[in-house]
Structure 1
């Protein structure tokens, strides 16, 4: 088992449930790629903000590309905004991918 920190992508991350998920994952020592149309980069080095509309496939691809470039992996994908989207084909990922709800590994 690797000592590397796990990485979560969280959509709708600028407010509400999405922002709460970012905080909850950081409290559990995950690195987070947070995305929403209006998100801005904060001071936490463990959170990488990517602004854009996740329903646009180019945004989804950019989120994944930046996650891999910044953190080297993707372990969890939490989609919060109700718009259908999937990780681009061939995305190097492990763990729970594509879930649209909070799974058993995280209770908030």
Structure 2
């Protein structure tokens, strides 16, 4: 797997959606909160990733009414998105194991 910011961003968004649908702000907040602030995606990076994932049919999107506020676009993994996540997770697990070896830690 190529090691690029776009690839990492895509993987992070797929991971964030793995436990259920979220709108953009929820995805960004989930990543920030879950990693203690170590992993963040700006909205300028997040929305192009979401649009690309939708175009590639890895996520589906629907507008949802929010009580008292404007509608929010909610994103969810498709079956194709779940399959892509499984594959990317395996790649990142292998990379994490390799990094642990380089750092002198057992994986």
- Superposition TM-score, scaled by structure 1 size: 0.30
Larger gyration radius, structure 1 or structure 2? 2
